[in-house]
Copies of this chain bind each other. A is one copy, B any other.
Amino acid sequence: MPANKVIKLVSRPKEMPTLDNFSIEEAQIPSPAQGEVLLRTLYISVDPYMRGRMNDAKSYAPPFALNEAIAGGVISEVVESYAEGFQKGDVVLGNSTWTLYSVAKPERLTVIDPNIAPITTALGVLGMPGLTAYFGLLDIGQPKEGETVVVSGAAGAVGMIVGQIAKIKGARVVGIAGSDEKNEYLIKELGFDAAINYKTTADLHAELAQACPDGIDVYFDNVGGAISDAALSLINKNARIPICGQIALYNLGKADVGNRIQSVLLVNTALMQGFLVGQYAARFPEAVSQLAQWLQQKKLKYAENIVDGFEQTPHAFIGLFTGDNLGKQLVKVAEPSNK
C-alpha cells in the first residue's frame, strides 16, 4: 500500500488564496478501529464556501485549524471495513480530509449507488450543490410560471441547476456568468433564455434590464457585490431573494460597503433570506429523488470540471475564484477498484 498524503492549511489567506497557503505532506495511513472503515479517496470536491472556513472568523462552519488537514465533501472507496453495513469496495460520500486515505465512522458516510448516475454526481447535481439549488430556489425563491428568475454565478455547480429547475417550473431564466463560452453553454445546452457576461458588459444594469423586460421576481444570489446591486435594482413587487453565496466578497479582505438593500426590500415588499443546505437535511431524500428523476428525464443536465491528481486540489480550489470551472469542480484522485 502506498504512503498517505495530506493537504494542510498552513496559513490563512487574506484575500485571494495562493498555493503558499497550503502544504502537501507525506503521512501515515491511519488505522481504523472497531466500528470504523478505512477509506481510499477517489474524488475531492472543492467548494466556494470552504474559503470562509479558511478565515479565523465566526461563521456557520468553524474555521479550519492551521497545520491540520482540510476537510470537505469527498467520494471514497472502502478499503477495510470494521463497521456494520459497509463492505470493501463500497463507494461512499462523506465529509473527509484532503488525504489519500482516511478513517471514518459509518454514521458520517452514505453509500453511493453507481446505478443511479455516475458516482461523481454525489458531489454535484445529486449532492450538496444540487440540493442547495433545489431548496434555495423552490423553498425560498418559489418561482411561478411566467415569472423571471435571475441567477448569478450561473455557470457554477449550483447556478446551473438553479436555472434549469426554474425552467422546469416555467420561468424565464437569465444567467449572469463570467465568460461568453459559459453563457453559450447556458443558453444552448441548458435552455437559459438569456445570459450576461458581467466581465465584458459595458453596462450590467442596462443589459440585465433588457434581458428582464418584466423585471425580476426571483434573484438567486451566489455572488453579492456590484452584480447583485444591478439585479436588486430591478426586482418586482413581492420578489424573493435567496442568498446562497457571496463569492465576490470571499477574497475582498475588507468590509462589504455599498448600496444598502433595506429600502429596496421595503418598497417592493420583498423577501431576502440566507440559507444553508443543511437546514433541509430532513428533506434530502425527497430532493435527491426528484433531481434523479429530472436527470433520467433529461430535463436536467450537469457539467463537471475534473482535474486529475491529488496534488492539484489547492490549484482547483483557487480556480473557483477566477472562474475556471464550468459546473462542478472536482479533483480526481483515483479510480474505483471495481472499474
> Footprint of B on A, CB under 8 Å?
52, 58-60, 221, 224, 228, 237, 243-246, 249, 255-276, 279
| Nearest opposing residue in chain B for A275, CB measure | B269
- Within 8 Å by CB of A243, from B249, B255, B257, B266, lies B266
Which chain B residues border A249 with CB–CB below 8 Å? Answer: 263
Using A261-B260, A262-B224 as known contacts, say yes or no to A272 and B273 having CB atoms under 8 A apart: yes
Interchain nearest-CB distance for A162 vs B (Å): 16
Cα–Cα distance between A273 and B328 once the two chains are bound (Å): 32
Residue in chain B with minimal CB distance to A279: B269
Contacts of A258 in B (CB 8 A): 257, 260
11 CB contacts below 8 A, A to B, read A243-B265, A246-B263, A249-B263, A255-B259, A258-B260, A261-B261, A261-B272, A262-B272, A265-B273, A267-B274, A269-B273
| Chain B residues, CB < 8 A from A274 | 262, 264-271
**Contact A243/B262 with A60-B267, A271-B273, A272-B272 known, Cβ cut-off 8 Å:** yes
Q: Which B residues touch A255, using CB under 8 A?
A: 259
Q: A256, B263: Cβ atoms under 8 Å? A: yes
Known: A228-B262, A258-B260. A276 touches B272 (CB 8 A): no
CB contact between A246 and one of B256, B259, B266 (< 8 Å): that residue: B266
Q: What's the least CB distance linking A251 to chain B, in Å?
A: 13
What distance in Å separates the Cβ of A135 from its nearest Cβ neighbour in chain B?
12
| Residue ID in chain B nearest A228 by CB atoms | B262
CB distance from A282 to the nearest CB of B (A): 15
Residues of B within 8 A of A279 (CB): 269
- B271 and A276 contact, CB distance less than 8 A: no
Chain B residues lying within 8 Å of A271, measured Cβ to Cβ, are 271-274
Q: From residue A256, how far is it (CB to closest CB) to chain B in Å?
A: 5
Complex contact B267–A272 (CB within 8 A) = no
Residues from chain B with a CB closer than 8 A to the CB of A60 are 237, 266-269
Residues of B within 8 A of A261 (CB): 260-262, 272
Measured CB to CB, the closest approach of chain B to A178, in angstroms, equals 19
CB distance from A281 to the nearest CB of B (A): 13
Chain B contacts of A58 at CB under 8 A? 267
15 more A-B residue pairs beyond the given contacts A60-B267, A268-B274, with a C-beta to C-beta distance below 8 A: A52-B267, A60-B266, A228-B262, A243-B266, A246-B262, A256-B262, A257-B257, A257-B259, A257-B260, A265-B272, A265-B274, A269-B276, A270-B273, A271-B271, A271-B274
